[in-house]
Amino acid sequence: MIKNCFSSSVISSSSTSYSTYIAGFAGAFAGSIEDSFFNGTITRSRNGSALVYSEGFNTTVTNSYYIDTVFATAGKSTSMSAERMKSGELCWLLQNGQPDTTVLVWGQSSLTSYPKFYTSENWRVRKVECGDTPYYNIGKVLGDTNGDFTVNSVDLTRFMKASVGFGYADGGLSELTVGDLNSDGTIDAIDAAMLEMAISGGTDYKLQ
């Protein structure tokens, strides 16, 4: 079994022999691959699947991915762009595949890096529901007033109260940093309007 693995290796072979098997994790392989990804490079004369040479032969692949710059024949793993891999989506998918998701295995130090193994909750990636398009973030989420990692009308109501003089605490916001969307040091009607636009999906604005 290959589980909770990643590789960024540079793999190259010029062999044209039918007994040569080149892939991201292994050549000839029979078993299961789970919650893993490959973001390296593969140069080979005979094309095959991405993670192991023949993913359709005696191989079970679950929740595993490879970078889309690898040219590979159709297999059971999933192609994903570098942008998506770094966005938090891949990390969330890998962590969500764990038997106990409360025990952190996969995390990210930033949304410009690839997932790695972390045990500190500081690096947990969370899926944020906001408008029609969910996205991913690390740590606090702007606009999420009650810490449920969903930004919706409940949060907007609290924003409206905070923006008309109740103050962020009396308005129901956990702290100033989650409500000051434009970073001007206060919570006002501009922040409330930005939140409303983000929830409605009317702009590309993301509450990060």
- The count of residues in the chain is 208
**For residue range 49-78, what is the model confidence (pLDDT) as tens digits?**
788 877 767 788 899 999 998 887 767 889
My answer on whether 98 and 42 are in the same domain is no
Q: What is the DSSP string of 129-147?
A: EETTS-EEEES--TT-TTS
My answer on whether 97 and 149 are in the same domain is no
My answer on whether 102 and 141 are in the same domain is no
**For residue range 99-133, what is the model confidence (pLDDT) as tens digits?**
999 999 999 999 899 999 999 888 999 887 666 66
My answer on whether 69 and 22 are in the same domain is yes
Q: How does strand 10-13 pair with strand 106-107? A: unpaired
Domain boundary among 47, 62, 80: 80
Say which DSSP state 206 is in: -
Element (H, E) at 170: helix 167-170
My answer on whether 187 and 166 are in the same domain is yes
My answer on whether 110 and 74 are in the same domain is no
**For residue range 130-168, what is the model confidence (pLDDT) as tens digits?**
666 677 878 767 777 777 767 788 888 877 777 665 555
My answer on whether 165 and 190 are in the same domain is yes
Please, is 25 exposed, middle or buried when counting C-beta atoms within 10 Å of its C-beta (0-12, 13-18, 19+)? Answer: buried
Q: Domains in the chain: how many in total? A: 3
My answer on whether 150 and 167 are in the same domain is yes
Share of the chain above pLDDT 70, in %: 80
Tokens for 165, please give them: 């003089």
My answer on whether 129 and 140 are in the same domain is no
The CATH number of the domain where 140 resides is what? 1.10.1330.10
Domain boundary among 134, 154, 169: 134
My answer on whether 72 and 117 are in the same domain is no
My answer on whether 160 and 101 are in the same domain is no
Angstrom distance (rounded) from CA 194 to CA 191: 5
My answer on whether 25 and 69 are in the same domain is yes
Range of the domain at 100: 84-134
Q: What is the DSSP string of 11-59?
A: EEE----TT----SSBSS--EEEES-EE-SEEEESS---SSBS-TTSSE
